Amino acid sequence: MPQRHHQGHKRTPKQLALIIKRCLPMVLTGSGMLCTTANAEEYYFDPIMLETTKSGMQTTDLSRFSKKYAQLPGTYQVDIWLNKKKVSQKKITFTANAEQLLQPQFTVEQLRELGIKVDEIPALAEKDDDSVINSLEQIIPGTAAEFDFNHQRLNLSIPQIALYRDARGYVSPSRWDDGIPTLFTNYSFTGSDNRYRQGNRSQRQYLNMQNGANFGPWRLRNYSTWTRNDQASSWN
C-alpha cells in the first residue's frame, strides 16, 4: 500500500496575514474553545516577528512595546496640567520605571516654578535648584503623574497642602525679567484760536507729555506740561 509523505512548506507573510484575518473572528467569539485563564491576560505581540534577520539573529529589543502604554525614554515637549489646570509647556525628561512606563524627571527649580513649597519640604529644601528628582511620588505622598503620550500631555496630581495658594494670574518672581531697553513718550496737544468782531484775537495752546526710559531694572518717568497764551508761555 503506497504511503503518503506530507512535506511542510513555508507560508509567505501575505498568506499568514490572510489566515490570521480569517481565524481572528472565530478566536474572539469561540470563547468556549479557549482556556478561561487566557481572558485574564493582556494581548501580547511577539517582537521576534519584527526584530530578527534572515539568519534568525536578534537586531533590536522591542520587548517593551509588548506592554500597554510603554514608550521609549527621552525628552519630550509636553503640556503640563496640574490638578486639572494647564500651567505650562516645556521639555521634560522621562525615564522608564520597573514596569517600562515613563515617569517624569524634575529639577528642584522646575518644581518651584510649578508652585510647590520646595523650601517647606525637607527632602527638597536641602537640594540645589539643579538637583534632579526621579520620583516625585516618593517625596510628596499622594502625588500621581500620568503621561498621555498620544497627546503629549503630563497630568500631575499634587495635594494642595504642598502647593502655594496664589491669586489668579500670579506670576512667580523667578519668571520675571527686566524687559527690553526702550525710550517712549505719550503726548496730547490742544489749542484754540478765537477771533472777535471788534478785531480782537486770543490764542491758547496746551501740551501734555509723559516720557519714560527703561534700562535693565531701572524705570525712569517724567511728566511735563507746556502752556501758552497771548501773554506768556511756561513749562511745568
**What's residue 131's pLDDT?**
92
Cell of 3: 504511503
pLDDT at 53: 57
Strands 182-195 and 153-157: unpaired
CB atoms within 10 A of CB 210: 13
Tell me which of 131, 153, 173 is where a domain ends.
Answer: 173
Question: Which H/E stretch holds residue 13?
Answer: helix 13-29
Confidence (pLDDT) at 45: 55
Domain span at 207: 182-235
108, 118 Cβ separation under 8 angstroms: yes
Look up the CATH number of the domain holding residue 102.
3.10.20.410
pLDDT band at 195 (very low <50, low <70, confident <90, very high): confident
The verdict on residue 157 lying in a domain is yes
The predicted structure's pLDDT at residue 100: 76
Q: Does residue 98 form part of some domain?
A: yes
Residues 139 and 211 in one domain: no
Tell whether 123 and 142 lie within a shared domain.
yes
% residues pLDDT > 90 (the chain): 37
pLDDT category of residue 34 using cuts at 50, 70 and 90: very low
Q: Are 140 and 124 a contacting pair, CB within 8 Å?
A: no
Query: Are 223 and 143 part of one and the same domain?
Result: no
Q: Is residue 15 part of a domain?
A: no
- Classify residue 10: in a domain, yes or no: no
What is the model's pTM? 0.48
Cell triple for 100: 517600562
Identify the pLDDT of residue 82: 92
Q: Which 3 state secondary structure label does DSSP give 22?
A: helix
Q: What is the pLDDT of residue 59?
A: 55
124 and 88 belong to one structural domain: yes
In terms of DSSP bridges, do strands 182-195 and 201-215 run parallel, antiparallel, or are they unpaired? Answer: antiparallel
The reply to whether 45 falls in a domain is: no
Q: Are 83 and 119 found together in one domain?
A: yes
Average pLDDT over residues 208-226: 94
Pick the more confident residue, 166 or 76.
76
* Residue with the three cell numbers 503621561: 147
Residues whose CB is less than 8 angstroms from the CB of residue 95 and which lie 6 or more positions away in sequence, other chains included: 73, 102, 103, 105, 134
Q: How confident is the model at residue 32 (pLDDT cuts 50, 70, 90)?
A: very low
- Asked whether residue 196 is assigned to any structural domain, the reply reads yes
Domain final residue, candidates 173, 198, 214: 173
Out of 108-112, 199-203, 226-230, least confident range:
199-203
| pLDDT of 95 over the 80 cut | yes
End residue of a domain, out of 120, 155, 173: 173
Q: Look at the chain and report how many structural domains it folds into.
A: 2
pLDDT category of residue 165 using cuts at 50, 70 and 90: confident
Q: CA–CA separation, 154 vs 136, rounded Å? A: 13
pLDDT tier, 37 (very low <50, low <70, confident <90, very high otherwise):
very low
pLDDT, residue 184, reads 93
Whether 201 shows a pLDDT value over 60: the answer reads yes
Residue 38: is its pLDDT beyond 50? Answer: no
Angle, CA 181 vertex, CA 177 and CA 182 arms, to 5°: 125
Q: Are residues 195 and 151 in the same domain?
A: no
139 and 213, same structural domain?
A: no
Query: One-letter amino acid identity for 130?
Result: D
106 in Cβ contact with 137 (< 8 Å)? no
The mean-pLDDT minimum among 59-63, 82-86, 194-198 falls in 59-63
Please name the helix (run of DSSP H) or strand (run of DSSP E) that holds residue 233, with its range, or none: strand 233-235
Domain check: are 120 and 169 in the same one? yes
- Residue 144: band (very low, low, confident or very high) from pLDDT cuts 50, 70, 90: very high
Dihedral over Cα of 55, 61, 63, 68: its sign:
negative
Quick one: CA dihedral 112, 114, 116, 122, positive or negative?
negative
* pLDDT score, position 113: 87
**Residue 87 sits in the same domain as residue 118:** yes
For residue 69, the Cα-to-chain-centroid distance in whole angstroms is 19
Do residues 201 and 129 both lie within one domain?
no
